[in-house]
Structures are given as C-alpha cells and as structure tokens.
Amino acid sequence: MQDTAQASAYVRRLMREIEEIEARISDLSQEKAALQRQLTKAHWEASALKDVSRKNSGTRIMVEQRILDALREARKPLNSDALFSAAKRANFEIKPTTFRTYLLRLKEKGSIRPAGRRGLWALSEEIPPPQLDSE
C-alpha cells in the first residue's frame, strides 16, 4: 500500500515538473518571437526601410532582397528549397505559398527567371546589390 502511495506521489511530481517545463517553453517561445520581431525591425531600419508604412511591404522587400542576395552569392541557379531557406532568414514565419508569391513577383519584375528544370531559379541579369546610405 505504501509503495503504491509513493509511486502515485512520484507520478504526480513528475507530471507537475513536466507542466512547469512546458510553461517555461511557452514563455521562452513567446520571448523568442518578440526578439525575432525586434530583429526584423532592426533589419528594416538598417536596410533604409524606415519609410515603409505597411509591415508586409517591409517584410516582402527584405525577403525579395534576401532571395536576390542568395542568387548573387551562389553565382549559379538555385532551387526553390535553397531560396526558401534564404527567405526564412529574412522572415522566419514565411509560409511556402507566400514565398512562391514573392518568387512570382520577382519573375514578373524581371529580376529572376526560371533556369532549366522546374523549381530552379537564376538572376535575369546582374542586378547590383542595393547601396545603403553611409551617413
């Protein structure tokens, strides 16, 4: 009988500890998301996007720029997965459908083009990186 009571108390203590850990994980996840939002805002300001009034516009510009930077750095066509990874560095919450919309926008602007097989992208021409003000 005493063994059963001890086992039951042990199980309750373990369950309580698991709940406490889950609460800490939730708090840390929220803190991480807040820090990532602050980092994104800092990137916007550093990228001279202070004048962008809509959050989505700033995010789109940063993601599109990151896609172009990845293609420039690679100096060869990249597949959509590699470009999606690059886009996630600009916006960790980007959804695949939104990413595909950004690729389509870049293609329609003439910045990128399909390169051979499906899902492979290249720069349309040498697009110079943006110059940031050095004030």
State pTM to two decimals. Answer: 0.55
Asked if pLDDT for residue 86 goes beyond 50, the answer is yes
Residues in the chain: 135
Cα–Cα distance, 64 to 90 (Å, whole number): 9
Give the tokens for residue 112.
């990128």
Asked if pLDDT for residue 135 goes beyond 60, the answer is no
CATH 3.40.605.10 fits 53-123, yes or no: no
Average pLDDT for 98-123: 89
